[in-house]
Amino acid sequence: MLRLHCPHCDELRDEEEFSYAGEAYIPRPSAPESVDDATWGDYLFMRRNTKGWFWEQWQHGAACRKVFAVRRNTATYEISGTWTLEEGKPLFLAETRGEAA
């Protein structure tokens, strides 16, 4: 059972209080009506699916119901930290700078 520290509630809670909300920080095309099908399809469906350290979203459904960012190792399930989406984004960008999606 994973235990996650909700940054909004400032509490460590059991996994069952949360639901998974997928890969974090996927950039949404700013003008959806003007991108081609491949670009839109990539945004909707293509995923990093990283084996290793990964930025993902969880939602605290049983309490504050807010979504937040978690950096977790998908192979070992170790969690290096949790942040609000706003706090986590610069860390994510610094880590993935230059990396292919």
Residue 41 CB, nearest distance to other proteins (Å)?
4
CB of 3 to other proteins, least distance (A): 11
Residues 6 or more apart whose CB falls under 8 angstroms from that of 20 comprise 56, 57, 58, 59
The token pair that represents 35 in the structure block: 């991108």
Per rule CB under 8 A, is residue 8 in the interface with other proteins?
no
Q: Choose the binding region for other proteins from 25-33, 50-58, 61-69, 86-94 (rule: CB under 8 A).
A: 50-58
Are the C-beta atoms of 74 and 23 separated by less than 8 Å? no
Rg of the chain over Cα atoms, rounded to whole angstroms, equals: 15
* Residue carrying the six token digits 């991108």: 35
Report if residue 92 touches other proteins, rule: CB under 8 A: no
CA dist 10 to 1, 35, 86, Å? 19, 40, 16
**Could you tell me which stretch among 17-25, 27-35, 61-69, 80-88 binds other proteins (CB under 8 A)?**
17-25
Does 34 participate in binding other proteins (rule CB under 8 A)? no
Q: Residue numbers of the site for other proteins (CB under 8 A)?
A: 1-2, 15-16, 19-20, 22-23, 37-38, 41-42, 44-51, 54, 56, 72, 74-77, 100-101
